[in-house]
């Protein structure tokens, strides 16, 4: 006898929505994400598209009970994989804030810094999804 699937919780649904939004943005406006890809990697646009598709696949997998466990593991791995890009984004905004010395650049830099520790609860949520029957 099969164990019934656990209902979709708000935090897992929120993670799926975040992935869906970000994945769509990767595909529609890839130029926003290209500066986050290390310069040493070739075909940066393709990497941005690939990460967008991966986010959309994770989003879809998280909402479906049969794929939630696997999507949880994949989501956690994806969040770890993109963490260096988030650090790079903060570094880029920090350099811009130093050059421009205006309020909007400083606010944008502060926002990217504030975003970095948010990766941990997102990863925790993805791992929670990986344990859902």
For residue 65, tell me if it sits in a domain: yes
pLDDT of residue 133: 64
pLDDT of residue 73: 97
Distance CA 28, CA 50 (A): 13
For residue 4, tell me if it sits in a domain: no
pLDDT tens digits, the chain, 133 residues: what are they?
566 667 899 999 999 999 999 999 999 999 988 988 887 889 999 999 999 999 999 999 999 999 999 999 999 999 999 988 888 889 888 988 888 888 888 898 999 899 899 999 999 999 999 996 6
User: Range of 72's domain?
Assistant: 10-128
Distance CA 94, CA 106 (A): 8
For residue 33, tell me if it sits in a domain: yes
Rounded to the nearest angstrom, the gap between the alpha carbon of residue 32 and the centroid of all alpha carbons in its chain is 14
pLDDT of residue 53: 98
pLDDT of residue 4: 65
Q: Structure tokens of 30?
A: 């890839």
For residue 48, tell me if it sits in a domain: yes
pLDDT of residue 88: 87
Following DSSP, what letter does each residue of 68-118 receive, concatenated?
HHHHHHHHHHHHHHHHHHHHHHHHHHHHHHHHH--HHHHHHHHHHHHHGGG
Beta carbons within 8 Å of 38's beta carbon, 6+ residues apart: 84, 88
For residue 5, tell me if it sits in a domain: no
pLDDT of residue 3: 63
For the chain, the domain total comes to 1
pLDDT of residue 37: 86
Rounded to the nearest angstrom, the gap between the alpha carbon of residue 22 and the centroid of all alpha carbons in its chain is 7
For residue 2, tell me if it sits in a domain: no
Closest by CA position to 126, among listed 52, 68, 65: 68
For residue 3, tell me if it sits in a domain: no
Distance CA 131, CA 26 (A): 28
Distance CA 63, CA 42 (A): 33
């Amino acid at each position: 006898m099969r164990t019934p699937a656990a209902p979709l919780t708000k935090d897992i649904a929120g993670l799926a929505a975040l992935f869906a939004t970000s994945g769509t943005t990767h595909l529609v406006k890839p130029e926003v994400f290209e500066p986050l890809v290390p310069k040493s990697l070739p075909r940066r646009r393709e990497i941005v598209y690939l990460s967008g598709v991966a986010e959309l696949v994770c989003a879809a997998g998280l909402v479906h009970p049969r794929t939630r466990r696997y999507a949880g593991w994949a989501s956690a791995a994806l969040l770890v994989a993109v963490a260096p890009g988030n650090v790079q984004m903060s570094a880029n905004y920090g350099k811009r804030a130093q050059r421009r010395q205006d309020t909007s650049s400083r606010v944008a830099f502060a926002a990217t810094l504030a975003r970095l520790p948010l990766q941990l609860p997102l990863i925790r949520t993805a791992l929670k999804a990986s344990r859902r029957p």
